[in-house]
Chain A
Amino acid sequence: MSVKRIEAVNDFVIKFANVNGSGSASANELFARAFLRMGIPVSPRNIFPSNIQGLPTWYEVRVSENGWLGRRGGCDLMVAMNPQTWAQDLKEIDPGGYLFYDNTKPLPKSRFREDIHVVGMPLTEISNSAYTLPRERQLFKNIIGLGALAALIGLEPEVIAELIGEQYKGKEKLLKPNLNALQLGLNYAREHLKDAIGLKAKRAYAVGEQIFMEGNAATALGCVYGGATVCAWYPITPSSSVAEAFTNYCSKLRVDKDTGKNKFAIIQAEDELASIGIVTGAGWNGARAFTATSGPGISLMSEFIGLAYFAEIPATIIDVQRGGPSTGMPTRTQQSDLLACAYASHGDTKHVLLFPEDPHECFTMAADCLDLAERLQTPVFLMTDLDIGMNHRLCKPLKWDDARRYDRGKVMTAEMLDAGREFARYKDLDGDGIPFRTYPGTHESKGAYFTRGTSKNPSAIYSEAGPDYQYNMQRLLKKHDFAKTLVPKPLLTPSREPARFGAIYYGSTSPSMNEALESLAQQGIFVNALRVRAFPFADEIQDFVHSHSKVFVIEQNRDAQMKTLLVNEAHINPASLVSILHYDGAPITARFITKEISEIAAALNVRPIKRDKAA
């Protein structure tokens, strides 16, 4: 029986199974970048444990000339370098796919599968005979493997050599042995493994102007462009690299040329209680401030978030979501903090959330958050996740309009006070629920007020009177409602043909959803898709649901948190929503969405037998 062979050009999934800390990361990244240089879109994902050395890690590379950048599901080629996960890795390969492994020590036939193609290469042997130091042997084994894969798949060796050259610019001593190792791999594969793999890379022109960037770095840059001067944080995966990138960018872009002084202050606080406190203090005093954290940090910050909501203090909170509850799956992705953030803190609270889909939106929305927080005088959350934050993603180039000025919101100045403008800190003067504030130190006799988390009257005087409290709470509600006119609008992707079904999705689900919509259309299942980009919900979302008989809500959490918010806050009948939930910690795949929707659609399309009219 001949085994089927997956043949594909510029459209496949390759997965590397590695051991954490073995130096595989840099070779993996070179591999992914080589596709980009050949004009082929690629989307790599690190799947890693909460550990520094010794545990399994994976690097999954989606290659797609069509530009599908989400996880597809399945695996066409497994590069199995970790004996510990061998059995699990072997299982993941699609029938007709390939297994590439180090056959220095031969394995019995029973350790393989009949329905896949096994490509062995004595990587350790080649590396050991070429190098003597144990560290070199380990590191160059990765590069030898990279050379072999390049030959097998058709990645242009010059492109990889160029990338290695860029990596070791100024460190010529390291450059040569790397290029040698690459050549060793190329030579071996050309000689011994001719046409062993049916997956091919072919130069294309599908990358264009796009950039390749991590979401957390884009978020940090958005905070630089958006004018944040104070950053307070406490290390937590997967958010730490936001603060680290902010530090990095600021040291290049925010040091005053004349004085050498910093136009930023970054505090690695003692905990998240302090980071949000610092942000609150800075926001109260008129500086743009943000913190970056993940679920456990949000839990700790809750009391302060309530204070900032009730006392009306701007704060930008970046939540790079990971698997919860508790420590949960600290290095896996999820969209499971929606409710925790939307209603963070005790008492009646509601917060503004933004949902970026990729680094491009992380950049623009981070800057938007800083504007919104000051315009609305309230905490605003940027809800990213590990999948967007910690992986390089191909996306539109970042854009900034030089005419853009920061929206500092309603701030009453000394001039306005001198001109006799009415100032009452918590009074709605304009009908949008947003009062004026003053910065401390503004005026010698007017505009000072006392900020507190306790109830107060419109002039900020302590008051436990029922009507004062209710006026304030109603105004906050009005302000929240007004926020829906300011936040990013949902985006509609209409189907090619009239559709009964709708789908609502958000954040990092976006690229897999795009691919799933196309797969579904090819099966004749047409779905209008609406990407929700913010809470509070724009009215369009309600209209969208009402114009479809069923709307799928695709999420990466167990409890259908977006659905809950839609039902609660957009007054949508839960019967019109069908949840599709993915929450195993790995990013959602296009195949998963396609399968779920097609199965449910099939079931819904079955006409029920005519019921008794009396029923």
Chain B
Amino acid sequence: MTYLAKPRLHHPTLKKNAVGYTRRDYEGKVSTLCAGCGHDSISAALIEAFWQLDIQPHRVAKLSGIGCSSKTPDYFLGNSHGFNTVHGRMPSVLTGANLANRDLTYIGVSGDGDSASIGLGQFAHVMRRGVNMAYILENNGVYGLTKGQFSATADKGSKAKKGSVNSDSPVDTVSLALLMGATFVARSFSGDKQQLVPLVKAAIAHPGAAFIDVISPCVAFNNHEGSTKSYDYVRAHNEAVNRLDFWPSREAITAEYREGEVIEVAAGAEGGILKLRKLAADYDPSDKISAITHIARAAQKGEVLTGLLYAAPDAEDLHAHLNTYGAAFNTLGAKELCPGSGVLERINASLR
């Protein structure tokens, strides 16, 4: 393991995005995770997505819980503020941060132990509230950081590295997120960058609670035969319902799909466009009820359903629900917030 910072020598020919940053500007510290860990691929996808979206790195706040997965915000967007909070409770901290300054982009990173075991309550409630964020769950079915115990997303019957078999039912985080009111729900695989990057972009642009469950194999503790979260297993059982492309603005759309295969779904915050290439003919990601049924059927068949599972066309966020003021709360001072001594005199008078 190394704690050395990466050399930041900018190659003059490195391509810049619309806001003048190269991909390197979206990188973070050198990862200290195991070589081959799925989580590192997700960090790479995040770097790519933010670069492509032309978001200035310092306008992003990265929050996470505790676990190998939750360490990763240190490994991307090194010029953003990050916050490694407590185990299972990133959602509440992210909620508070978002309330304090609505002008930043919020990304929450968590693990399956973090979100589905200790943090199941906060996971559910942050979706209910519709906090504007992209919530990435790096799902490996185990507690990586504490050395391989089963987590609550481990499938019933799946085998631990040391041989024990899990007898508990799994928590299906995408179904739960849907039921709780998340307005953007997707599942992907850390090994499928083609699918993951556009999904992450769409989740970031989504103006409400966006959730992506990313199956992310743990090479140290859950990549063996008998595991349902190994690279081999996921590759063999991956059933993508659709392929997504995301454009931050209308102009960039290129018509590469054949008529009839493509549908447009919910626009992002700045009027971005999502185009979906349907792979499962009967799958409509704007229909929540049928999405839930579809997910349940696939689970029954042992398939790992991936793609954009649901995007609400009319998403709103917590600030809209609370009717909060336009300017960030952290910019308001006594002038804007304090009612002053005159009002206090009147209050005093009413209390006599």
The reply to whether A398 and B347 contact each other, CB–CB distance below 8 Å, is yes
Contacts A402-B340, A444-B56, A454-B84 given; does A277 touch B95 at CB 8 Å = yes
Q: Is the beta-carbon distance between A269 and B333 smaller than 8 angstroms?
A: no
Are the CB atoms of A439 and B332 closer together than 8 Å? no
What 1/0 mask marks residues of chain A from 258 to 271 whose CB sits below 8 Å from any chain B CB?
01111111110111
In the bound complex, residues from chain A placing their C-beta under 8 Å from that of B59 are 441
Known: A289-B100, A448-B80. 18 other contacts (CB 8 A): A211-B348, A227-B333, A229-B332, A232-B92, A274-B91, A277-B95, A277-B122, A281-B98, A282-B96, A287-B99, A287-B329, A307-B85, A440-B101, A441-B58, A445-B79, A449-B81, A450-B74, A451-B82
Residue in B79, B100, B333 with the greatest tally of chain A CB atoms within 10 Å: B100
Across the interface, do A444 and B58 meet the contact criterion of CB distance under 8 Å?
A: yes
Chain A nearest CB, measured from B251 CB (Å): 26
Do A279 and B337 touch (CB < 8 A)?
no
Evaluate contact between B3 and A274: CB separation under 8 angstroms: no
Q: Nearest Cβ in chain B — how far from A227, in angstroms?
A: 4
A346 CB, nearest partner CB in chain B, Å: 11
Interface of A is mostly: loop
Q: Cβ of B61 < 8 Å from any Cβ of A?
A: yes
Known: A230-B99, A451-B84. A405 touches B322 (CB 8 A): no
The interface size bin for chain B is 35 or more
Per CB-CB distance, the 8 closest pairs between chain A and chain B, nearest first, are A277-B92, A281-B96, A286-B330, A287-B100, A440-B81, A285-B100, A281-B93, A282-B96
Q: Write the nearest CB–CB distance from B27 to chain A, whole angstroms.
A: 13
Which of chain B's residues have a CB closer than 8 A to the CB of A287? Answer: 96, 99-101, 329-330
User: Please, could you name 7 A-B residue pairs with CB atoms under 8 Å apart, sorted by A?
Assistant: A229-B337, A263-B324, A269-B92, A289-B100, A439-B81, A443-B58, A448-B81
A210 to B352, alpha carbons, bound, how many Å? Answer: 7
Of A253, A304, A400, A441, the residue contacting B341 (CB under 8 A) is A400
**Are B333's CB and A439's CB within 8 A?**
no
> Which residues of B120-142 have CB atoms within 8 Å of chain A's CB atoms?
121-122, 124-125, 129
B75 to chain A minimum Cβ distance, whole angstroms, is: 10
A253 partner, pick from B57, B93, B121, B339, beta carbons under 8 A: B339
Beyond A267-B95, A441-B81, is A285–B101 a contact (Cβ under 8 Å)? Answer: yes
**Cβ of B85: which chain A residues have Cβ within 8 Å of it?**
277, 280-281, 307, 453
Q: Which one of B93, B103, B323, B352 contacts A211 once the chains associate, using CB atoms below 8 Å?
A: B352
The answer to whether B84 touches A227, judged by C-beta atoms less than 8 angstroms apart, is no
Residues in B neighbouring A400, C-beta threshold 8 A: 338, 340-341, 344
- How far apart are B331's CB and chain A's nearest CB, in angstroms? 8
Contact B94–A281 (Cβ < 8 Å): yes
**Which of B96, B121, B333, B347 has the most CB atoms of chain A within a 10 A radius of its CB?**
B96
Main secondary structure, interface of B, reads: helix
B338 CB contact (under 8 Å) in A227, A266, A283, A285 = A227
For B337, what are the chain A residues with a Cβ–Cβ distance below 8 Å? 224, 227, 229, 254, 263, 406
Give Cα A225–Cα B345 distance, bound, in whole angstroms. 13
Interface: B9 (CB within 8 A): no
Q: Are B101 and A211 in contact (CB under 8 A)?
A: no
Contacts of B274 in A (CB 8 A): none
> What's the minimum C-beta distance from A375 to chain B, rounded to whole angstroms?
15
Roughly how many angstroms separate A544 CA and B119 CA in the complex, as a whole number?
49
**Neighbouring B residues of A439 by C-beta, 8 Å:** 81, 101, 330
Q: What is the CA–CA distance of A400 and B326 in the complex, to the nearest angstrom?
A: 27
Q: Are A285 and B89 neighbours in the complex by a CB distance under 8 Å?
A: no
- Known A270-B121, A285-B96, A287-B101; judge A451-B83 contact (CB<8 A): yes
Return the chain A residue nearest B70 by Cβ.
A452
Contacts of B92 in A (CB 8 A): 232, 269, 273-278, 280-281
With an 8 A cutoff between CB atoms, is A236 at the interface?
no
Contact A274 B122 (CB under 8 A): yes
Shortest beta-carbon distance, A228 to chain B, in Å? 8
Partner of B348, one of A260, A398, A440: A398
Residue B86 lies at the interface, judged by CB distance under 8 Å to chain A = yes
Chain B hits for A213, CB < 8 A = 351
Residue of B nearest to A279 (CB): B96
A261 and B329 within 8 A (CB): no
Q: How far is the CB of A283 from chain B (nearest CB, A)?
A: 7
B336 contacts partner chain A, Cβ-Cβ < 8 Å: yes
Query: Do residues A274 and B89 form an inter-chain contact, with CB atoms below 8 A?
Result: yes
Separation in Å of the B66 CB from the closest CB of chain A? 8
A230: which B residues are within 8 A, CB to CB? 96, 99-100, 329
From 226 to 285 in chain B, residues with beta carbon under 8 angstroms from any chain A beta carbon are: none
The answer to whether A261 and B81 touch across the interface, beta carbons within 8 angstroms, is no
Kindly state the separation between the CA atoms of A615 and B61 in the bound complex, as whole angstroms: 71
The yes or no answer to B44 lying at the interface (CB within 8 A) is no
- Residue with the highest number of chain B CB atoms closer than 10 Å, among A253, A264, A406, A441: A441
A171 CB-CB contact with B under 8 Å: no
> Does B81 contact A451, Cβ atoms closer than 8 Å?
yes
Does A22 lie at the interface of the complex (its beta carbon under 8 Å from any beta carbon of B)?
no
A residues in contact with B104, CB < 8 Å:
440-441
For A399, the chain B residues whose CB sits under 8 A away are 341, 344
Name the residue in B83, B124, B334 with the highest tally of chain A Cβ atoms < 10 Å from its Cβ: B83
In the complex, residue of chain B having the shortest beta-carbon distance to the beta carbon of A363: B344
- Cβ 8 A contact of A285, one of B61, B124, B333, B336: B61
Most chain A Cβ neighbours within 10 Å, of B101, B324, B332, B338: B338
Q: Across the interface, do B82 and A450 meet the contact criterion of CB distance under 8 Å?
A: yes
Residues on A with beta carbons closer than 8 Å to the beta carbon of B93:
277-278, 280-281, 284
* Most chain A beta-carbon contacts within 10 A, residue among B318, B323, B337: B337
B14 contacts partner chain A, Cβ-Cβ < 8 Å: no
